[in-house]
Amino acid sequence: MSIVREIQAKTLLISIKNPEGWFGVKYNLNIYRGCEHRCIYCDSRSDCYQIENFDGEVLVKTNAIELLEKELGRKRIKGTVGTGAMSDPYTYAEKRYGLTGKALQVLAKYRFPAHLTTKSDLVLKDLETLQEIQRAQRASVAFTLTTVDDALARQVEPGAPRPSARLEALARLAQAGILTGVLMMPVLPLIEDTPENIRAIVQRAAEAGAKFIIPWIGMSLRAGQREYYYAQLDHLFPGLRAEYEKRYGDRYSCAAPQAKKLERLLHEECEKYGMATDMRLFRAAEEGKQLELF
Q: How far apart are CA 282 and CA 279, in angstroms?
A: 5
Q: What are phi and psi of 254, to 5 degrees?
A: -120, 90
Query: How do residues 36-49 score in pLDDT, each as one tens digit?
Result: 999 999 998 888 87
Model-level pTM?
Answer: 0.93
At 292 the pLDDT is 37
- Kindly list the domain boundaries of the chain, sorted by start residue: 11-284
Query: How do residues 53-104 score in pLDDT, each as one tens digit?
Result: 777 789 999 999 999 999 998 888 889 999 998 789 999 999 999 999 999 9
Contact in structure between 89 and 121 (CB atoms under 8 Å): no
Query: How do residues 126-150 score in pLDDT, each as one tens digit?
Result: 999 999 999 988 999 999 999 999 9
Class of domain 11-284: alpha beta
